[in-house]
């Protein structure tokens, strides 16, 4: 097993990519903290893992709240005595608003979840990793964190910031045994669009040409395989970078 004896936290793990990552990590031997705002969904994932012989603990977490981040990290320490892998997967969408149409309220809400929540979790985990002399962080960025035509301005900017967080952290702690990488998924079959609300007509129309050349929609399990690689020793020489997983979509431009 590639993660035998490891302890992992996965945020946004009640569904979609987070669920697939948590289930695969558990299958590969990790003890997993299933973190999500949807406690019922998180508990269902944890129950499924346990029924399949794995070890998991569900915890309700709003990554926009520092106290919830602290509780999440403390759960891993209290339940499993340590933390080896942090997967910052939780995220929300905008409604494809361009900069002229974005409100302060929506901008702040998206950055609180997509960027500040990632930073806060990393900030709490790094001292644990420094004490251990090792640790792995896997962030879910997006092709929208690499390009300008995959979402609205707030989502795109928030994911560009995650890429910056990832690269800076990977470099800063490279000599301390800590690796930090990100995955940039393309279109994946998840329920993230449910967080978007009514789409901005102008923004959506501008994105249509780019979305029209997506080769195919990915499955959460395909992203989980990339997350497994980044969490395992097989990627020991991979640090401070972003792996794009989009079936070749962004190779076109």
Structural domain contains residue 128: yes
Q: Is residue 102 part of a domain?
A: yes
The helix or strand, by DSSP H or E, that contains position 21, with its residue range, turns out to be: helix 16-27
Read off the pLDDT band of 252 (50, 70, 90). confident
Question: Which uninterrupted H or E stretch holds 76?
Answer: helix 66-80
Residue 2 inside a domain? The answer is no
CB 180 within 8 Å of CB 121: no
CB 244 within 8 A of CB 98: no
Q: For all residues of the chain together, what is the average pLDDT?
A: 96
Backbone torsion region of residue 72, taken as left when φ is above 0, otherwise alpha when ψ lies between -120 and 50, otherwise beta: alpha
Angle between helices 16-27 and 39-51 (to 10 degrees): 30
* pLDDT of residue 192 exceeding 80: no
Residues with catalytic annotation? 155
CA nearest to 220, candidates 89, 96, 37: 89
pTM (2 d.p.): 0.96
The proportion of the chain whose per-residue pLDDT surpasses 90, expressed as a percent, equals: 95
Check whether 107 has a pLDDT greater than 90.
yes
Q: Give the per-residue pLDDT at 253.
A: 83
The greatest distance separating any two alpha carbons of the chain, rounded to the nearest whole angstrom, comes to 51
Does residue 186 lie in a domain region?
yes
pLDDT in tens, 63-98: 999 999 999 999 999 999 999 999 999 999 999 999
In a domain, 238, yes or no: yes
* pLDDT for position 241: 98
pLDDT band at 52 (very low <50, low <70, confident <90, very high): very high
Of 169, 26, 1, nearest in space to 9 by CA: 26
Judged by average pLDDT, the poorest of 110-114, 144-148, 249-253 is 249-253
Q: Is residue 1 part of a domain?
A: no
Tokens of 190: 């998840």
Judge whether residue 25 has pLDDT over 90: yes
Instruction: List, as one string, the DSSP characters of 156-212.
Output: HHHHHHHHHHHHHHHHHTGGGTEEEEEEEE-SBSSSGGGGT-SPPHHHHHHHHHHHT
For 42, the domain range is 7-252
pLDDT of residue 195: 66
142-174 residue pLDDT tens = 999 999 999 999 999 999 999 999 999 999 999
Is 25 among the domain residues?
yes
The CATH number assigned to the domain holding 90 equals 3.40.50.720
Q: 72-94: buried (b, 16+ CB within 10 Å) or exposed (e) per residue?
A: bbebbeeebeebbbbbbbbbbbb
Whether residue 164 is contained in a domain is answered as: yes
Mean pLDDT confidence for 31-46: 98
What percentage of the chain has pLDDT greater than the value 70?
99
Spatial separation of the C-alpha atoms in residues 39 and 242, rounded to whole Å: 30
Distance CA 162, CA 112 (A): 12
pLDDT value at 55 more than 70:
yes
- How many domains, in total, are found in the chain? 1
């Amino acid at each position: 097993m590639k993660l035998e004896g490891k302890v992992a936290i996965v945020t946004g793990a009640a569904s979609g990519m987070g669920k697939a990552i948590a289930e695969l990590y558990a299958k590969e031997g990790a003890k997993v903290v299933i973190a999500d705002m949807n406690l019922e969904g998180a508990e269902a994932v944890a129950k499924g893992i346990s029924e399949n012989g794995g070890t998991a603990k569900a915890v309700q977490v709003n990554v926009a709240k520092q106290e919830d981040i602290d509780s999440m990290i403390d759960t891993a320490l209290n339940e499993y005595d340590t933390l080896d892998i942090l997967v910052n997967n939780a995220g929300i969408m905008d409604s494809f608003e361009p900069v002229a149409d974005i409100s302060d309220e929506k901008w702040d809400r998206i950055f609180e979840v997509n960027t500040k929540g990632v930073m806060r979790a990393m900030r709490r985990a790094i001292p644990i990793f420094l004490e251990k002399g090792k640790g792995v962080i896997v962030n879910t960025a997006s092709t929208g964190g690499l390009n300008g035509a995959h979402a609205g301005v707030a989502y795109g900017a928030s994911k560009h910031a995650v890429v910056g967080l990832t690269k800076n952290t990977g470099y800063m702690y490279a000599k301390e045994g800590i690796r930090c990488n990100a995955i940039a998924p393309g279109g994946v079959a998840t329920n993230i669009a449910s967080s978007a609300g009514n789409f901005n007509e102008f923004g959506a129309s501008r994105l249509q040409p780019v979305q029209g050349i997506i080769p195919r929609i990915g499955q959460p399990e395909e992203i989980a395989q990339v997350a497994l690689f980044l969490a395992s020793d097989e990627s020991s020489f991979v640090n401070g970078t972003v792996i794009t997983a989009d079936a070749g979509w962004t190779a076109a431009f």
